Structure 1
Amino acid sequence: MSDKRAADWDKKLTPSTLKSASKNKKTTVMKPAKIIKTAIHALFAVPCALFLWVVYFTVGVTEALVCGVLQTIWSIVLFGISLVCVIGILVWLLTL
């Protein structure tokens, strides 16, 4: 270790520097009211998150069912249109 670094290290460990460092340190003490408030927030956060998940899941399932039903209906409609077109082409060909 260089002499300068050794001198800085010794300087850092003097009682006066330790005392001034402890004075400058900003520590916050958790007050009981703040602890209780934080615990209440945590207790309310879990049911809220669970409720939001249930709503999100229900909406997703409903959307999937509605989209599935609409897709089925739309495929039946398209099949009917295709069938009418094929029958129309066959009738047109037979009447030539």
Structure 2
Amino acid sequence: MDQRSLKNSDVLILTGLTQIPTANPDGMLGEFCSNLAMTTHSGGNVLVPCYSSGVIYDLECLYQFMDSANLGNTPFYFISPVANSSLPFSQIFSEW
């Protein structure tokens, strides 16, 4: 990065400075689903810590994977102090 243009700046706002993820998220999701299936088939439980809105609603692929792995009857629990208000919010956007 050429830093000459930054010289004598009054304000500098930087975002996205991390180099993570360095791996392809599709591969990571596939590995996650595979481990989820193995754990659930062997009678284990899976805990997925995540925010109560946003990314959790993008996990539709997880539901589809579980159906294809004959885990469609496995219950999902959302445990959060704001879950009651977050879940109705998801109904606003039909793609969720």
| TM-score normalised by structure 1 residue count | 0.26
The structure having more radius of gyration, on CA atoms, is: 1
